[in-house]
Structure 1
């Protein structure tokens, strides 16, 4: 049996991400994905049995990449605000550089394609961030709210900022990033 071509899988994934951003998760078909990738529909079926399998595998890849990027350069022993800043900036950078993946993850997370088990695994990948939030609460540096609410506030503000800037073709400068970080910090600090 011939091994699967990782390059073709990457092209199928890229085509899927663009189509989901343009048309939504429910609005795409395997033939649309194949056409966008420049392949015959049968070629896509060599790599994925159906749309559901493709969506699940792509979601797992994107959510793993997203979580890994959250923690690039993160040192859990750093002072809380420094560690939080690292994760926040990583989250923002990933959301800007991988906008199609951000849209895809957001659309998939609550779709019927993604199982409760997959959602749980996705949340577990972000456990170091939750632990950091709990540490900030314990050190009385941030609001004494459930960590899920704080994480939702932070992640939601980053996502909405990036979506607004992307759709309105606004530049996000380094100065603007730091100002936005401080706004977010002001929103969670105790």
Structure 2
């Protein structure tokens, strides 16, 4: 990646985080990134393209972070707990990106453009849920429902930690992950 492109992405990340997507103008991004407007449009034809690129990069970085050291040959419960723990660790270590990814995923144009784009993290979760289902380890729920329960719980934990409503130390993270597993297992 070029340095100017990186500056633009980082400026966009910070401004969207600080002000919200609708309130950020391309001129603000240019000013924060210390580049000309033309430079932004050389890399990104529109604000939507820029924001979608930001979303995609955050999603890819989270997948890389969570899947680092992941072993698909481990028992199902270990894999589920590893993925959940990775999500929490990413959220604690990268709070802006974590919150932005969850917020941007709900933006209609991003949701539409991301259809069919399955990040490696989602693929890993789907595969472990398939394996768990084949081994009759899960309650009779659709995989999408299970994935929503798990990711929703982890997102809520990380957000509560960010708001300083709870403190997520290793013991608390392990308790929460165990509770998530208990919620979906037979």
- Normalising to structure 1: TM-score of the pair? 0.86
Q: Which one of 9, 16, 19 corresponds to residue 20 of structure 1?
A: 16
- Counterpart for residue 83 of structure 1: 79
- Counterpart for residue 40 of structure 2: 44
Alpha-carbon distance in structure 1 between the residues aligned to 2:9 and 2:140: 40
Moved over 4 A (4+): none
- Counterpart for residue 119 of structure 1: 115
Alpha-carbon distance in structure 2 between the residues aligned to 1:170 and 1:8: 38
- Map of 1:59-74 to 2, 5 A cutoff? 59-74=55-70
- Counterpart for residue 93 of structure 1: 89
- Counterpart for residue 142 of structure 1: 138
Q: Which one of 93, 101, 105 corresponds to residue 105 of structure 1?
A: 101
Q: Which one of 148, 159, 168 corresponds to residue 164 of structure 2?
A: 168
Q: 5+ residue gaps in structure 2?
A: none
C-alpha contact 1:109 1:119 (8 A) present in aligned 2: no
- Counterpart for residue 129 of structure 2: 133
Q: 5+ residue gaps in structure 1?
A: none
Paired residue total: 186
Give the RMSD, CA atoms, in angstroms.
2.1
After the TM superposition, which of the residue ranges 165-174 and 84-93 deviates more from structure 2?
A: 165-174
- Counterpart for residue 156 of structure 1: 152
Residue 8 (structure 1) aligned with residue 4 (structure 2): yes
Shift of 1:109: 1.9
Alpha-carbon distance in structure 1 between the residues aligned to 2:34 and 2:172: 39
SS in 1 for 2:178: helix
Shift of 1:54: 0.5
Q: Which one of 167, 180, 187 corresponds to residue 176 of structure 2?
A: 180
Q: Which one of 20, 25, 34 corresponds to residue 29 of structure 1?
A: 25
If asked which structure has higher relative contact order (CA below 8 Å, sep 6+), I would say 2
